[in-house]
Amino acid sequence: MATTYNNSFSAILLKHPLQCIGIFCKPGPIENQKLLQKLVQWLRQKNLSVFLEADTARLIGEPPIHSISDVAKEADFIVVLGGDGTLLKVTREVYLFDTPLLAVNLGNLGFLTDVPRAGLFDALEKVLAGNCKVERRMLLKAYMLRDGEKTEEHYVLNDLVISKGVIANIVNLEVRVDGHYMTSYRGDGLIVATPTGSTAYSLSAGGPIIHPNIHNLIINPICPCALTNRPIIIPDDSEIDITLTLASEDVRLTCDGQVSCPIKPGDILKIQKAETTIQLIRVSEKSYYQILREKLNWGRATEPESNETLD
């Protein structure tokens, strides 16, 4: 069985004192660079050491010395300036170091990057004062067995997606869970998602929303030929084997929507809960359900008047 751990949604306190702060910033508009420069100055005025990832340092003309791994080793926590995609990218680089991440939303929807641009410095004041909590979010570990050899190991926060390429062929997949044959899928592909990833691609493909504190995984077919092939929720300590059973052109595995590799007939994709987690710093008092309402525009036609309060 896969490694187990206490997957606590919001019960961990950030260690203090905080002395070294890492920063990763997505390249983009000049406003992002100005915010980055202001952030570095603000932290240094508080006599805190600042570690800038190399590409981030170049944005403001500082020496590009540190890799993101170097930053993760040295920093007490890392400020991630960008959108959810930026956070997913940083996650792949820092998961081994268990370094907490404070995600600041410079993008659009931002399910994970819930600190708004305008709230950055207020959020940092709370973090430095210890007025924050840390959520541990599950990661998935996946690797490919090809001709008996292990290859293509990946760690993801949201999801793993097997899908067809530009040629519109049906993808044929056999799925086993904990060694037991579950079913065979024929369709456009398959999503395996964490609770965190349940509000990403899986949701658009008709999957359920799972609270991050629930210990489950989602197996969700994409446009299956058999209409009875529906999303299924399984325990998160399950081990999943997915085999591409028939020759098909350009079938690919995509990890968190960012890293992709080909899958060949006979390849076995092995998936299980990772032995490590990602720590996300939270300063907001919003409940998970309030976040869902705001991000998914639930109940807009029946929202209460502005003087009423929702929990």
Q: Could you report the per-residue pLDDT of 19-57, keeping only the tens digit for each?
A: 999 999 999 899 999 999 999 999 999 999 999 999 999
Q: Which residues belong to the active site? A: 84
Encode pLDDT of 106-150 as tens digits.
Answer: 978 888 998 999 999 999 999 999 999 999 999 999 999 999 999
- The boundaries of every CATH 2.60.200.30 domain in the chain are 139-275
Encode pLDDT of 170-220 as tens digits.
Answer: 999 999 999 999 999 999 999 999 999 999 999 999 999 999 999 999 999
Q: What is the mean pLDDT of the chain?
A: 91
Q: Please confirm whether the linkage preceding 262 is cis (ω < 30° from 0).
A: no
DSSP the chain: --------SS-BPPPS---EEEEEE---SHHHHHHHHHHHHHHHHTT-EEEEBHHHHHHTT----B-HHHHHHH-SEEEEEE-HHHHHHHHHHHGGGT--EEEEE-SSS-SS--EEGGGHHHHHHHHHHT--EEEEEEEEEEEEEETTEEEEEEEESSEEEEEE-SS-PPEEEEEEETTEEEEEEEESEEEEE-TGGGGTHHHHTTPPP--TTS-EEEEEEES-SSTT---EEEETT--EEEEE-S--TTEEEEETTTEEEEE-TT-EEEEEEEEEEEEEEE-----HHHHHHHHHTTTGGGPPPTTS---
**Confidence label for 304 from pLDDT (cuts 50, 70 and 90):** low
Nearest to 34 by CA among 61, 71, 54, 67: 61
Q: Is the pLDDT of residue 77 over 80?
A: yes
Distance CA 23, CA 293 (A): 30
> What integer pLDDT is reported at residue 126 of this predicted model?
96
Identify whether the C-beta of residue 223 lies closer than 8 Å to the C-beta of residue 246: no
**Which residues, at least 6 apart from 279, have a Cβ–Cβ distance to it below 8 Å?**
12, 98, 99, 100, 101, 134, 135, 136, 137
**Confidence label for 99 from pLDDT (cuts 50, 70 and 90):** very high
* Domain 20-132+283-296 CATH (choose: 3.40.50.10330, 3.40.630.10, 3.20.20.70, 2.160.10.10): 3.40.50.10330
Look-up: residue for tokens 């990890």?
A: 255
> Domain 139-275 carries which CATH code?
2.60.200.30
As given in the structure block, the two tokens for residue 10 are 């919001």
> What integer pLDDT is reported at residue 247 of this predicted model?
73
Look-up: residue for tokens 């997913």?
A: 88
Percent residues over pLDDT 90 in the chain: 81
Q: Is the pLDDT of residue 263 over 80?
A: yes
- The boundaries of every CATH 3.40.50.10330 domain in the chain are 20-132+283-296
**Confidence label for 95 from pLDDT (cuts 50, 70 and 90):** very high
> What integer pLDDT is reported at residue 309 of this predicted model?
57
> What integer pLDDT is reported at residue 4 of this predicted model?
43
> What integer pLDDT is reported at residue 1 of this predicted model?
39
Encode pLDDT of 211-259 as tens digits.
Answer: 999 999 999 999 999 999 999 999 999 999 999 998 777 899 999 999 9
